[in-house]
Amino acid sequence: MFDSKKYFSKRLGSMEGSAIRDLLKQAGVPGFISLGGGYPDPKSFPSSLFDTLNQRVKNKYGNGVYQYGKTEGFDPLLQILPQFFQRANRKVKAFPDTISITTGSQQALTMLGMLFIDPGDLIAVESPTYLGAIQAFNPFGPKYIEMETDENGIVPENLDQLLTKHPSIKFMYTVSTFQNPTGKTIPPERRKQIATLLVKHGKLAIEDDPYSELRYEGVPVPSLQSFAHDHVIHLFTFSKTFAPDFRLGGIVAPPDIRNASVMIKQGLDLCTSNHDQAMVAEYLSGNYLDPHIKEIVALYKPRRDCMMKAIDTYFPSIFQHTCPEGGMFIWVSLKEGISLEEEKLDMKKILLETVSQKVGFVPGSAFFARKDHSPFSMRLNFTNQTEENIEKGIEIIGKILQKHLKL
Amino acid sequence: MFDSKKYFSKRLGSMEGSAIRDLLKQAGVPGFISLGGGYPDPKSFPSSLFDTLNQRVKNKYGNGVYQYGKTEGFDPLLQILPQFFQRANRKVKAFPDTISITTGSQQALTMLGMLFIDPGDLIAVESPTYLGAIQAFNPFGPKYIEMETDENGIVPENLDQLLTKHPSIKFMYTVSTFQNPTGKTIPPERRKQIATLLVKHGKLAIEDDPYSELRYEGVPVPSLQSFAHDHVIHLFTFSKTFAPDFRLGGIVAPPDIRNASVMIKQGLDLCTSNHDQAMVAEYLSGNYLDPHIKEIVALYKPRRDCMMKAIDTYFPSIFQHTCPEGGMFIWVSLKEGISLEEEKLDMKKILLETVSQKVGFVPGSAFFARKDHSPFSMRLNFTNQTEENIEKGIEIIGKILQKHLKL
């Protein structure tokens, strides 16, 4: 067999298959309770609408909709999106020509990595941060600096120090609302402070917001972009509301960045499906989003509540968990001041054992950009399992933790 | 306004908007006869089938098909593809686990660029070559070496010399059948010679094959991959048969390359639409492809014939054109031995004039990887205009050529 590996690029060394992906594989086994992954429940998809929307698309656009489309996006969707961005959970300043449609918001991360990152460039990320962003940025060879976070996300004082100490930072990356993996939301006052710091230091932020529609309680928070639209690139997706399979997301950005990102997308996949964009345009213009969100909230809120209660019940008391007001994830870590012997701090070993009992989660270490430290922690997803399964899964993990930690 | 350009990566300097893209914009003007672009005719889309296929997908897979899918592809499609690859126009050796589905074959080019190219690496490309491949590879900073071509495509003797002289070449890239932009096909005997050279020099080839189903005459040619499957990465797409909007293509490659490309795709867009993959799986398993290809051939063959005849009639006799047995393009260049004064050799000026008369084409210079030389030439697309428009468009271009060249 001819050895092709010798021709692989050097960047392959910095890339690795993800824990997420391996978990997706487990999740296919019948009876497996996956609290890993970041999947919506297929019950949440507005599939009873699909035929209606499809018929409207057909009537309006005919065959032509299946042709290659414009790289920046399908006009009727670009026209209606600014209205979507006015929702209280975004308040994003956007015009049709500051939006660029992407094949899922994952593609937006690759486009921005390609646009900004030269090998060795410094990128500031939350600690922990979204694993998929790291995967998208890594091929371009950045170095990561971790921004300190507390229960309200990024700590402005620390960010100020970081930006002062490292003036070469290219951009900061944040999932500002219902963060993946922690579920944390940066409060408005703090967003304002962060925006002020961006202006003060002349820096850019990428604000990745896949989750803000999924709010189960509390008051909607305007985007970071709303406080400094020249300095913030805002990402959105319909994967958590409409359905992941439509692979529909996008970028809102100042013109130079938006135009360069469109040029980059040409090389990546030419264009995103017109038909799928037309479906989402009909979904938005038909005012289906609001009632649909209500249904999603009714499905997910009890699951979140159930998971928090189950953790309180079944996990050893040395653990704490976040109480996210929305989104898809709960983050479990050791309570402050708790320390354990080194040999107990092996979350992968615990995962192997829960998997053998058909329960999955993602070890927290997967979400730290720098591998030299990562607290004993886990990310739990509550959107794609019934309450019964959530309780059962958490009970199993809890017992294994008890046993492993000899508590 | 905050200047974000200072943060752009160095690679942006090597990237530029494409002639293709600018032409797509013209093509939207009513009455414009675009012989640029590389669009199929929407009349060729099997849209009368879409409802049937959609219904089958719904019945078979329900809501679950709209969930995130496996990065490598949707199983039922991976299972049926090896049969598709046995067709006489491909004869590609493939198994479900040597195939990776991509969001159009354009994405495959990005994936392979990311997988193989370190800055400064040498890539061998045809002269001329597919513009979109250059756009996909450029962000990774390669240098291009042009392989000499004649009326039968790549010249093996020249390739042998190139590979001997430049042992560091990472891979060669070829559109082996009905090439974009020339329409040329490498004959079987020459494919065998090229395969032998790949083995002799221990090299890889990327064989990009979007067009081989669209054969209007002559005998199907087996893929380059069929002569050296360990050394050839074969790309395919359903954009020219099913419809571009499904954004469905893929890679057939030896396991190491296939697996690395799947890992790379995770970072790019996680997965390609399951639903769209299921639609194509039903299209293939329902045996709709063969009768559909017959319809496409019946639509495009007269257009090709019409365009060749119109060029013979209306273009100055100093020009020659290719006579492709299939595909979407005809290439026009000066006959051998013809030379013109420098100031006449400005194809962009001619394009500007044809565009003012509502006819578009792509100047040949767009298709040369190295910008230091490019013969006076043009690419003409015949698939997305009626015969009437083709004749009218070619007549207009011919008259402008006459006038400009003072012939």
Q: The CATH number of the domain where B372 resides is what?
A: 3.90.1150.10
A205 in the same domain as A64: yes
Query: pLDDT at residue B15 above 80?
Result: no
Q: Report pLDDT digits (tens) over A148-177.
A: 999 999 999 999 999 999 999 999 999 999
Residues 275-294 of A with CB under 8 A from B: 275-276
CA distance B376 to chain A (A): 26
Q: Which one of A288, A318, A334 terminates a domain?
A: A288
A148 in the same domain as A32: no
Task: Say yes or no: B139 contacts chain A, CB-CB below 8 A.
Answer: yes
Asked whether residue B51 is assigned to any structural domain, the reply reads: no
What's the confidence (pLDDT) of residue B23?
52
CA distance B266 to chain A (A): 8
CA distance A44 to chain B (A): 10
What is the distance between the terminal CA atoms of chain B, rounded to a whole angstrom? 52
Q: Report pLDDT digits (tens) over B69-81.
A: 999 999 999 999 9
Query: pLDDT at residue B2 above 90?
Result: no
When the pLDDT of each residue in chain A is averaged and rounded to a whole number, the result is 94
Q: Which one of A248, A263, A288 terminates a domain?
A: A288
Q: Report pLDDT digits (tens) over A81-102.
A: 999 999 999 999 999 999 999 9
Query: pLDDT at residue B315 above 60?
Result: yes
Distance, CA of B195 to CA of B374 (rounded, Å): 28
Q: Give the ipTM.
A: 0.94
A317 in the same domain as A256: no
Rounded to an integer, the average pLDDT of A343-369 is: 91
What's the confidence (pLDDT) of residue B374?
81
Q: Report pLDDT digits (tens) over A189-248.
A: 999 999 999 999 999 999 999 999 999 999 999 999 999 999 999 999 999 999 999 999
Interchain CB distance below 8 Å, B264 and A15? yes
In chain A, how long is the greatest CA-to-CA distance? 66
Three-class SS of chain A: CCCCHHHCCHHHHHCCCCHHHHHHHHHCCCCCEECCCCCCCHHHCCHHHHHHHHHHHHHHHHHHHHCCCCCCCCHHHHHHHHHHCCCCCCCCCCCHHHEEEEEHHHHHHHHHHHHHCCCCCEEEEECCCCHHHHHHHHHHCCEEEEECEECCEECHHHHHHHHHHCCCCCEEEECCCCCCCCCCCCCHHHHHHHHHHHHHHCCEEEEECCCCCCECCCCCCCCHHHHCCCCEEEEEECCCCCCHHHCEEEEECCHHHHHHHHHHHHHHHCCCCHHHHHHHHHHHHCCCHHHHHHHHHHHHHHHHHHHHHHHHHHCCCCEEECCCCECCEEEEEECCCCCCCHHHCCHHHHHHHHHHCCEECEEHHHHCCCCCCCCCEEEEECCCCCHHHHHHHHHHHHHHHHHHHCC
- The percent of residues in chain A predicted with pLDDT above 90, rounded, is 88
Distance, CA of A118 to CA of A115 (rounded, Å): 9
**3-state class of B123 per DSSP?**
strand
B123 in the same domain as B89: yes
Q: Which one of B247, B267, B289 terminates a domain?
A: B289
Q: Report pLDDT digits (tens) over B346-394.
A: 888 899 999 999 999 999 998 999 877 788 999 999 999 999 999 999 9
CA distance B217 to chain A (A): 26
Asked whether residue B57 is assigned to any structural domain, the reply reads: no
Task: Say yes or no: A168 contacts chain B, CB-CB below 8 A.
Answer: no
- Chain B residues lying within 8 Å of A110, measured CB to CB: 267-269
Burial letters for A86-125: b for 16+ Cβ neighbours within 10 Å, e otherwise?
Answer: ebebbebbbeeebbbbbbbbbbbbbbbbbbbbeeebbbbb
Nearest CA in chain A to B109: A268
A377 in the same domain as A274: no
B124 in the same domain as B234: yes
CA R_g for chain B: 21
A188 in the same domain as A148: yes
- Chain A residues lying within 8 Å of B245, measured CB to CB: 65-69, 273-275
**How far is CA B95 from its chain centroid?**
24
Interchain CB distance below 8 Å, B9 and A114? yes
- Chain A residues lying within 8 Å of B98, measured CB to CB: none
Mutate to test the interface with A, among B43, B51, B66 (most CBs of A within 10 A): B66
Interchain CB distance below 8 Å, A2 and B231? yes
B300 in the same domain as B264: no
Q: Which ranges constitute the DSSP H helices of B42-103? A: 47-61, 75-84
Domain count, chain A: 2
Name the DSSP letter for residue B326. B
Q: What is the residue range of B40's domain?
A: 5-45+291-405
Burial letters for B185-222: b for 16+ Cβ neighbours within 10 Å, e otherwise?
Answer: bbeeebbbbbbebbeebebbbbbbbbbbbbbbeeebbb
Interchain CB distance below 8 Å, A66 and B42? yes
Interchain CB distance below 8 Å, A264 and B15? yes
Domain with B123 in it: what CATH number?
Answer: 3.40.640.10
Rounded to an integer, the average pLDDT of B13-28 is: 63
Q: Would strands B329-334 and B377-381 be described as parallel, antiparallel, or unpaired?
A: antiparallel
Q: How many beta-carbon pairs below 8 A join chains A and B?
A: 212
Residue B83, Cβ neighbours under 10 Å: how many? 11
B283 in the same domain as B159: yes
What's the confidence (pLDDT) of residue B405?
86
Closest partner CB to B267 (pick from A115, A121, A136) = A136
Nearest CA in chain A to B69: A245
Mutate to test the interface with A, among B53, B116, B245 (most CBs of A within 10 A): B245
Q: Report pLDDT digits (tens) over A314-329.
A: 999 999 999 999 999 9
Closest partner CB to B114 (pick from A139, A231, A245) = A139
Interchain CB distance below 8 Å, A42 and B63? yes
Asked whether residue B138 is assigned to any structural domain, the reply reads: yes
Task: Say yes or no: B71 contacts chain A, CB-CB below 8 A.
Answer: yes
Q: Report pLDDT digits (tens) over B124-152.
A: 999 999 999 999 999 999 999 999 999 99
Asked whether residue A326 is assigned to any structural domain, the reply reads: yes
Query: pLDDT at residue A373 above 80?
Result: no
Distance, CA of A284 to CA of A292 (rounded, Å): 11
Task: Say yes or no: A337 contacts chain B, CB-CB below 8 A.
Answer: no
What's the confidence (pLDDT) of residue A377?
95
- Chain A residues lying within 8 Å of B123, measured CB to CB: none
Nearest CA in chain B to A137: B267
What's the confidence (pLDDT) of residue A185?
98
Asked whether residue B59 is assigned to any structural domain, the reply reads: no
What's the confidence (pLDDT) of residue A23?
52
Query: pLDDT at residue B243 above 90?
Result: yes
What's the confidence (pLDDT) of residue A289?
97
Residues 108-127 of B with CB under 8 A from A: 109-110, 114-118, 121
Asked whether residue B381 is assigned to any structural domain, the reply reads: yes
- Chain A residues lying within 8 Å of B45, measured CB to CB: 63, 66
Task: Say yes or no: B263 contacts chain A, CB-CB below 8 A.
Answer: yes
B320 in the same domain as B252: no
Nearest CA in chain A to B66: A245
Asked whether residue A53 is assigned to any structural domain, the reply reads: no
Residue B17's pLDDT band, with cuts at 50, 70 and 90, is low
A115 in the same domain as A34: no
B143 in the same domain as B216: yes
Asked whether residue B401 is assigned to any structural domain, the reply reads: yes
In 3D, which of B234, B179, B228 has the Cα closest to residue B203? B228
Structural contact between residues B214 and B161, judged by C-beta atoms closer than 8 angstroms: no
Residue A106's pLDDT band, with cuts at 50, 70 and 90, is very high
When the pLDDT of each residue in chain B is averaged and rounded to a whole number, the result is 94
Distance, CA of B349 to CA of A224 (rounded, Å): 47
Residue B48, Cβ neighbours under 10 Å: how many? 8
**3-state class of B238 per DSSP?**
coil
Query: pLDDT at residue A258 above 80?
Result: yes
